[in-house]
Chain A
Amino acid sequence: MGQIEWAMWANEQALASGLILITGGIVATAGRFTQWYFGAYSIVAGVFVCLLEYPRGKRKKGSTMERWGQKYMTAVVKLFGPFTRNYYVRAVLHLLLSVPAGFLLATILGTACLAIASGIYLLKCLGTLGGLPASVGEWRPPDGAGPATLLGHPSCWTSGLPPCLPCPWHLERRI
């Protein structure tokens, strides 16, 4: 199976859960469900999760594909220092954020999805050697050099070797 980078998937999941929380919260507050204030909480939590997860972390090996406009959020997130870099903290944070939204029907799906994302982050942490807390790679400060490199080009492109695709079907995959 090779190396699977769980953190990247957990990041996508958390971003999607944030959007689901926002949607559920809007449905709850607009529909004036009973206990609709949970819906309002869900919108706020969803926005927070989205902003936190928007910058894509650096990969262990290979190039990282940054999301559009990520560098602005990165500067803000870096202010929180080690709280946001550490995956354990992220996993626990997501779990705690997801609990209140579970009380309302409209946002219960957001809870489930954010809990799954938190679980994947936890899996990532537990999988590291010696139980050391894994941390998100250092975000590179914006260097003004323009947009990030094209995604996934294996390092052989820069090392002078020909493009290393065995088959055109998965042009940028290393297999």
Chain B
Amino acid sequence: MLSAVTDLGSIESTVSKNLPVVSIHQLGLCLSRASASVLNLNCSLILLPMCRTLLAYLRGSQKVPSRRTRRLLDKSRTFHITCGVTICIFSGVHVAAHLVNALNFSVNYSEDFVELNAARYRDEDPRKLLFTTVPGLTGVCMVVVLFLMITASTYAIRVSNYDIFWYTHNLFFVFYMLLTLHVSGGLLKYQTNLDTHPPGCISLNRTSSQNISLPEYFSEHFHEPFPEGFSKPAEFTQHKFVKICMEEPRFQANFPQTWLWISGPLCLYCAERLYRYIRSNKPVTIISVISHPSDVMEIRMVKENFKARPGQYITLHCPSVSALENHPFTLTMCPTETKATFGVHLKIVGDWTERFRDLLLPPSSQDSEILPFIQSRNYPKLYIDGPFGSPFEESLNYEVSLCVAGGIGVTPFASILNTLLDDWKPYKLRRLYFIWVCRDIQSFRWFADLLCMLHNKFWQENRPDYVNIQLYLSQTDGIQKIIGEKYHALNSRLFIGRPRWKLLFDEIAKYNRGKTVGVFCCGPNSLSKTLHKLSNQNNSYGTRFEYNKESFS
């Protein structure tokens, strides 16, 4: 908005300085130029949040020490959407203003300054102006592309038909190419010889050809009586308020500023895509595929030079399943210095995951229990891209963290727990509250081993308060259930029913007075909203709860 206002102000003054007295149009030009400058800014900024590798690097690097700055990176998708909406609104203003301009160019065609006109003759049909000039045609095409992109980017479409959104959004490249052509039309010009032909100067040649006598001309334009005592017109050049033109005005097209605005981010984004393409070109080696209850499959793999921090996610691409689709999955196990294996847990719902499962696990073995199924032959080729950052990485950087998982939303926390199992001392985290809510008791078996091992480890190391686990079974048919006979630690921490969040928050506040507790939630929106609201409420113990929000579709 600021850029529009300042630009409008500067353009008004420039326009009145540079355009001749017989002006072709004023308001339409100002509006279109101002909205163009807003569009310049937004078109350049919108690409930056999409450089996900760069953002992941910034999140993990030492150069961003402040947690507040890192939390800004969590909002990158929201920023992208805001820029998109702004582009949409100001494109509307820009197009409307230019439509009025087109009309004015043809109606107020000025014979005096032929070069400044976009129209070729008076009353040229504005539609011809639109479709036969480079800026006009590219502008129309850009509006159509923008229309397709924006209608496919609404929340409803993204959630129900992500493919439409993804494929149309890739038209952005066409949009940028059209934009570079759009500004090369050279429609706006500035005068190059302001010193020899200042605005408002009188051209003597013209007045004689128009058969207007000099005194009448002056009285018309200057509303002053013809000064007495001036016999020769040449003496006017020494007079202060009137100037004689030495030569005809010369105009030159402005350098397209847009190229300067968009070249940087576009090159950065293209470089990032190229880097990601090269990095993901080598397929991973699948070590094992494990079938878990409740339609969950775990894949363990290795890849050369793959490093990831706990909480990050990768995208999987399997050409045998679908040539074009990429799907993101959070890492449940990250590679460490001693072990290069990393893994993801996938829930099988939807056609891509079903086909993927059928390729990896033959149908006969899908009903079997959690036995590791080692079958190193005939796995399809799998490519991964990433790792990309997410707010869950921050949970290790708080002294006290509260992690709440709903169902399969436990996956980002699983990598955190795996990391703590490996070595907890290097991190700032000193107490972790882990709450996992599921509807089916079998789901807890996905990570029951991990939780038990973690619990035992901290008991052995005499840090029993490091991890506080609570498992909730939100729906039950009344029959007494346990997770499994060997999971004593978990059975004693299993509760039936939904958690009472207010009481939990109060208890955590009481036992961590004055500290800042990081709250992380991965689950349905309603859960997320409840926790967000509770985190923002004050409590009597002076404990601050900072809610870290992941932005989903």
Contact = CB atoms under 8 A, between A and B. Distances in A.
Query: Interface residue tally of chain B, by bracket?
Result: 35 or more
Given A156-B349, A166-B353, A161 B156 contact: no
B140 A109 contact: yes
A4 B349 contact: no
A163 B409 contact: yes
B157 A12 contact: yes
Interface string A31-49: 1010000000000000000
Does more than half of chain A's interface fall in helix, strand or loop, or is it mixed?
Answer: loop
Nearest to B327: A175
Nearest to A32: B103
Given A16-B150, A109-B95, A165 B347 contact: yes
A69 interface: no
Contact of A16 (B151, B390, B411): B151
A96 to B, nearest CB: 20
Given A168-B412, A171-B552, A171-B553, A5 B160 contact: yes
Interface stretch (A74-82, A124-132, A146-154): A146-154
Chain B interface helix/strand/loop/mixed: helix
B147 A116 contact: yes
Interface residues of A, number: 51
Contacts of B148: 13, 116
Contact of A105 (B127, B160, B313, B553): B127
A9 B152 contact: yes
B467 interface: no
A80 B363 CA distance: 50
Interface of B: 92, 95-96, 99-100, 102-103, 126-127, 130, 140, 143-144, 147-148, 150-152, 154-157, 159-164, 294-295, 313, 322, 324-325, 327-330, 345-347, 349-353, 390, 406-409, 411-412, 438-440, 443, 475, 522-526, 550, 552-553
Interface of A: 1-2, 4-6, 8-9, 12-13, 16-17, 20, 23-24, 27, 31, 33, 56, 59, 62, 65, 105-106, 108-109, 112-113, 116, 150-154, 156-157, 160-175
25 contacts: A2-B351, A9-B157, A12-B151, A17-B147, A27-B96, A33-B103, A105-B102, A108-B130, A154-B349, A160-B440, A162-B294, A163-B406, A164-B347, A165-B407, A165-B408, A166-B408, A167-B328, A167-B411, A168-B522, A170-B162, A171-B524, A173-B159, A173-B162, A173-B350, A175-B325
